[in-house]
Amino acid sequence: MIEEIRELPETKKLIRLGLLALLVWTVGAALFLEAAAVLNSSRERIVDAGRVLDAANTFYSYPSRNSEGDKEPLSLLTDTINELRLKDRVGLMNSGSSGLTVQMTELNGAEFVSLLKRLAEKGLQIKTADIRAITSAQKGRLINASMLIGANGDGSQ
């Protein structure tokens, strides 16, 4: 009986169809495994790129140096405040990864302009500022300023 089934033309077609299906499944599995390997290597490259970007962000978060005697921005800011005799007007001074934070109180207009000019001369720039005008009965109009200060990236003035 098995011999009779093997000799039928439909059996031969069925065997060929089975072999063709096996071949298609084998090719599909090989392509799937290759795609998985490519995806895994892409993920590794993305992780490596992330590490490089993290290292670059860490590097750029450090305070940069300036061409003025290779001094740190904090030293340049302190020198500027001392030169202008504004030490008693400093409410807060802090150094962080995004730059220097300084809060100046009760500056008159000329002192504020002088401070900005000196900072620019020393290669420091104001990244952001909160400037408030106040009125004092004894001293007139004064300025309170909170500033985020950083070094110029290229050292230009």
The CATH number of whichever domain residue 142 belongs to comes to 3.30.1360
Identify whether 157 is part of a domain.
Answer: no
pLDDT value of residue 156: 40
Give the CA-trace dihedral at 66, 70, 73, 76, to 10 degrees: -110
* Owner of token pair 């089934």: 5
Question: Model confidence over 36-63: pLDDT tens digits?
Answer: 988 888 888 888 888 888 888 777 666 5
- Element of type H or E holding 76: helix 73-83
Identify whether 67 is part of a domain.
Answer: no
Identify whether 43 is part of a domain.
Answer: yes
Identify whether residues 135 and 85 lie together within a single domain: yes
Per-residue CA distances from 80 to 61, 83, 122, 141 (Å): 23, 5, 8, 23
Kindly report the backbone phi and psi dihedral angles of residue 121, in degrees, each rounded to the nearest multiple of 5, phi listed first: -65, -35
Least reliable range by pLDDT among 27-31, 62-66, 114-118: 62-66
Identify whether residues 53 and 106 lie together within a single domain: no
Identify whether residues 93 and 128 lie together within a single domain: yes
Q: What single-letter DSSP state applies at residue 152?
A: -
Per-residue CA distances from 26 to 40, 103, 117 (Å): 21, 71, 75
Identify whether 118 is part of a domain.
Answer: yes
Spatial distance between the Cα atoms of 157 and 121, rounded to a whole number of angstroms: 6
Identify whether residues 143 and 82 lie together within a single domain: yes
Q: What single-letter DSSP state applies at residue 64?
A: P
Q: Which of 61, 94, 112 is the last residue of a domain?
A: 61
Q: Confidence class of residue 20 from pLDDT cuts 50, 70 and 90?
A: very high
Q: Do 154 and 64 touch, CB atoms closer than 8 A?
A: no
Question: Model confidence over 97-150: pLDDT tens digits?
Answer: 888 899 999 888 889 999 999 988 888 888 999 999 888 888 888 889 999 988
The number of helices, as runs of H, and strands, as runs of E, in the chain is 4, 4
Q: Which of 17, 34, 61 is the last residue of a domain?
A: 61
Identify whether 134 is part of a domain.
Answer: yes
Q: Confidence class of residue 64 from pLDDT cuts 50, 70 and 90?
A: low
The domain tally of the chain equals: 2
**Domain extent at residue 109:** 73-151
pLDDT value of residue 157: 37
pLDDT value of residue 17: 92
